[in-house]
């Protein structure tokens, strides 16, 4: 069974990751955070599965499980 993918706006991404807006944009620019999808001139979203994978990667790294 495949998990349902949702599109998350910036406030949802910040809430799920605990990161500030500025940190999300800085890490994205540095290649350390998933890239946003531009759906319009003023609308950006992130895929929920990519945010979940980012959180898992950070958790594994913090625990010393990174491969």
**Burial label, 13 (beta-carbon count in 10 A; 0-12, 13-18, 19+):** buried
Q: How far apart are CA 30 and CA 63, in angstroms?
A: 23
State residue 20's pLDDT score.
Answer: 98
Is residue 32 domain-resident?
yes
State residue 25's pLDDT score.
Answer: 98
Domain that holds residue 34: 7-62
- pTM score of the predicted model: 0.88
State residue 2's pLDDT score.
Answer: 67
**What does residue 53 show for φ and ψ, rounded to 5 degrees?**
-65, -40
Is residue 37 domain-resident?
yes
Residues of the chain with pLDDT under 50: none
Is residue 1 domain-resident?
no
């Amino acid at each position: 069974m495949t998990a349902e993918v949702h599109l998350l706006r910036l406030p949802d991404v910040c809430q799920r990751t605990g990161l500030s807006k500025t940190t999300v944009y800085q890490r994205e620019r540095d290649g350390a955070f998933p890239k946003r999808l531009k759906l319009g001139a003023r609308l950006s979203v992130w895929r929920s599965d990519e945010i979940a994978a980012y959180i898992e990667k950070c958790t594994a790294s913090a625990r010393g499980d990174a491969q």
